[in-house]
Amino acid sequence: MEYNAVIVGAGPAGIFAALILADHGVDRVLLLEQGKDLNQRNHKSPEERLCGWGGAGAYSDGKLNLSTEIGGVLREFIPEKTLHELLEATDKVYVDHGAPDRIFGESSAQVEDLALRAKIAGLELIPSRIRHMGTENCKDILGRFRESLQGRVETRTETKAKLLLVERDRIRGVLLDSGEEILARCVIAAPGRSGAAWMKEQAEALGLGTKPTSVDIGVRVELPAPVFKEITDTTYESKLIHYSKTFDEKVRTFCMNPYGEVVTEENAGIITVNGHSYAGKRSENTNFAILVSSAFTEPFDDPIAYGRYIARLANLLGGGVLVQRLGDLLAGRRSTTERLGRCLTRPTLPDATPGDLSFVFPYRHLLSIIEMLQALEKIAPGVYSRHTLLYGVEVKFYSYRIDVSLEMETAVKDLFTIGDGAGITRGLLQASASGIVAAKAIARRLKGH
């Protein structure tokens, strides 16, 4: 049998593609997922947290970001107004499947005032409207998507696509790990971050155009919650962007956790830092990342290796994550357990090794981070205090970006690629929206609507 469409990957991107194809009456659709089915996934296994029906979305923080500027580069494909409408429509599908009604960060006089003050301080405030599903609700909502596809789309879990089959520049189907060949008129590859290496291999084998990825490197900042209270009370999760004075590099805040905790995470053998906050448990601190986005000079094109190298340096020096008081960094000395003992900010990650981040970061990164902290001081006095803690390294890796058309089609006819694995998105809502774009294009081709 020839399928009309085969979708590789049952994360938010693939699930939304499947829903839209079914809603448009496209039959013979197969959704392939290498991991386990939703209810069989074990949240304790690092691999199963990312792979399985629901993708990385199943154990995500569940924040649906409605801003067109956050969570991907769909803005480069879709005009602003249309993208805004698309994200609203995508969000509505989540609400129809059980996401809570409430939206945080709606525009208000306080947000406008903060944006104005940020501008004077040399910062751009990106207002972000967020629907917070809550980690604990993600699985239930995905379960409703699963039910809604029942009987309309064939699903095979624990089935890995090995190769994309192409004949004369046109997709023919996929070859499974088991050796089975599946023929299809259209294929949508939606393998997510966990399948990004597979996607890159396929793109190279098929001669698809790719753009080098980027890496964002920086620190996790921790300070007493009152210092940032006005900001975190006004905007649920503010994104502030600064172009550093000396290097004119883009520096931004990321993943703000009021009353949260700093945590470590393991990234393919490297220990990096992150942060989170609980709904029902509060620390006395707020933490957020300051990340520097670097534009590398040619011929270098392996930012992932660069990011790993920097993170490994911190591990080499501290056996894991390093922590330093801003005052010590500025005075050119390492932090010690004794000095940390005199710090007014009590670290929520006691395992971090007191050390010296200037041994880890290149000069341009360190200076850009310091200049960002100076700019933040103007809107939140107390940020540039010697008692502010800096943990390193925080690093965000992104997938290689595959060249696609406005419909998310690659240079191979009827082969589409969407979501985080194609390097087009970095968040739940844009990943889901990219699935809608590809599925509508396929429905138009197959059904004429």
Ligand X SMILES: Cc1cc2nc3c(=O)[nH]c(=O)nc-3n(C[C@H](O)[C@H](O)[C@H](O)COP(=O)(O)OP(=O)(O)OC[C@H]3O[C@@H](n4cnc5c(N)ncnc54)[C@H](O)[C@@H]3O)c2cc1C
Residues that bind ligand X (CB under 6 A): 8-14, 32-35, 50-52, 55-57, 60-63, 65, 71, 160-161, 190-195, 198, 419-421, 426-429, 431
Say how far residue 211 (Cα) sits from the centre of its chain.
18
Name which of 9 and 347 has its Cβ closer to ligand X.
9
- Alpha-carbon distance 252 to 32, whole Å? 37
The answer to whether the CB of 213 falls within 8 A of the CB of 397 is yes
Q: Cβ 70 to ligand X, closest distance in Å? A: 8
- Alpha-carbon distance 372 to 122, whole Å? 9
Name which of 23 and 61 has its Cβ closer to ligand X.
61
Name which of 326 and 431 has its Cβ closer to ligand X.
431
Q: Where are the beta strands (DSSP E) in 194-325?
A: 210-211, 215-224, 239-243, 250-257, 261-267, 270-276, 285-293, 322-325
Q: Cβ 366 to ligand X, closest distance in Å? A: 27
The answer to whether the CB of 259 falls within 8 A of the CB of 152 is no
Name which of 9 and 218 has its Cβ closer to ligand X.
9
Name which of 56 and 114 has its Cβ closer to ligand X.
56
198, with CB counted inside 10 A (0-12, 13-18, 19+), is: buried
Q: Packing angle between helix 109-120 and helix 225-234, nearest 10 degrees?
A: 120
Q: Cβ 417 to ligand X, closest distance in Å? A: 10
Q: Cβ 123 to ligand X, closest distance in Å? A: 23
Q: How many Cβ atoms from other residues are within 10 Å of residue 230's Cβ? A: 14
- Alpha-carbon distance 344 to 226, whole Å? 13
Q: Cβ 429 to ligand X, closest distance in Å? A: 6
Q: Cβ 33 to ligand X, closest distance in Å? A: 5
Name which of 55 and 122 has its Cβ closer to ligand X.
55
